[in-house]
Amino acid sequence: MKIKGIIFDINGTLIDILTDEGHEEIYRAVSHFLTYRGIRLNRWEVKEAYFRIMDSQRKACAEKYAEFDAVAVWQEFLGGYLPASQRTLGAPDPTARFLAEMYRGISRFRLTLYPDVKAALDEFRQQYKMAVVSDGQSAWAVPELRAVGLAAYFDPVIISGDFGFRKPDRRLFESALKGLALNPEQVVFVGNDMYRDIYGAGRLGLKTVFFSSNQGRKEMDGVNPDYIIYKFAEIRQALEFLQG
């Protein structure tokens, strides 16, 4: 098989990331910031409102694999608590995106590339078209790709929060294939979750490489990747094998 494109998952595959959305410091900091916008809520009230709105957003979504929109959550939050004098009529409040980014930044404890990722991608960009398909939020994923020096490697960048549904929904993979202008049999998908990544990509006919990293689901009945790697550097051997 002649491989012309590679689609990667991001977190747990390219980026080793650790976050804690239960961390008290997130809600304390947001609570303090909100006083400058005329909102006086303690950290526990901020946390309760955030998760309530997020849960409501997901329940209102008719998708099987529903995804939330972090910026929209904070937009609704502001709409419910901002004094009338501070509301931006007819336009999204830019503070919503700031709050989404602030929330993620404070919740994050680790953000680094897995060993050999950058070197491998430098090689691959000369030979293959490359894209990413990742569950998450653009307000988080794009700045994080930029922070680790990978923002310029991928086109398209498909993030579930922009669509309202998550992997293994086939439409995310189809969007990436369309952006690459390639057929499934020309593309390899590399991911770290046996269900969302390998099952999701495999049922479209993409060849799959499972990266058994420190994150993600390791097994799923009836799902078998075409190749398994335990270090990212082994992706080179995987591609050689898949091309026969």
Domain of residue 122, CATH code: 3.40.50.1000
Question: Among the three residues 109, 124, 154, which one is the final residue of a domain in this structure?
Answer: 109
Shared domain for 174 and 99, answered yes or no, is no
Give the relative orientation of helices 43-60 and 70-81 as an angle to the nearest 10 degrees: 120
Cα-based distances in Å from 189 to 10, 21, 59, 134, 194: 11, 28, 30, 11, 12
Shared domain for 65 and 152, answered yes or no, is no
Shared domain for 163 and 57, answered yes or no, is no
Shared domain for 217 and 119, answered yes or no, is yes
Written as tens digits, the pLDDT of the chain (244 aa) is 699 999 999 999 999 999 999 999 999 999 999 999 999 999 999 999 999 999 999 999 999 999 999 999 999 999 999 887 766 666 678 899 999 999 999 999 999 999 999 999 999 999 999 999 999 999 999 999 999 999 999 999 999 999 999 999 999 999 999 999 999 999 999 999 999 999 999 999 999 999 999 999 999 999 999 999 999 999 999 999 999 8
Question: Among the three residues 82, 109, 136, which one is the final residue of a domain in this structure?
Answer: 109
Q: Which residue has the tokens 């209102």?
A: 60
Shared domain for 169 and 236, answered yes or no, is yes
The token pair that represents 31 in the structure block: 């609570």
Shared domain for 33 and 133, answered yes or no, is no
Shared domain for 101 and 123, answered yes or no, is no
Question: Among the three residues 109, 128, 149, which one is the final residue of a domain in this structure?
Answer: 109
Shared domain for 122 and 223, answered yes or no, is yes
Shared domain for 171 and 156, answered yes or no, is yes
Cα-based distances in Å from 201 to 11, 50, 74, 131, 132: 16, 32, 32, 13, 12
Confidence (pTM): 0.94
Alpha-carbon distance of 100 to 114, in angstroms, equals 25
Shared domain for 93 and 163, answered yes or no, is no
Domain carrying residue 56: 19-109
Shared domain for 25 and 86, answered yes or no, is yes
Shared domain for 43 and 96, answered yes or no, is yes
Count how many domains the chain has: 2
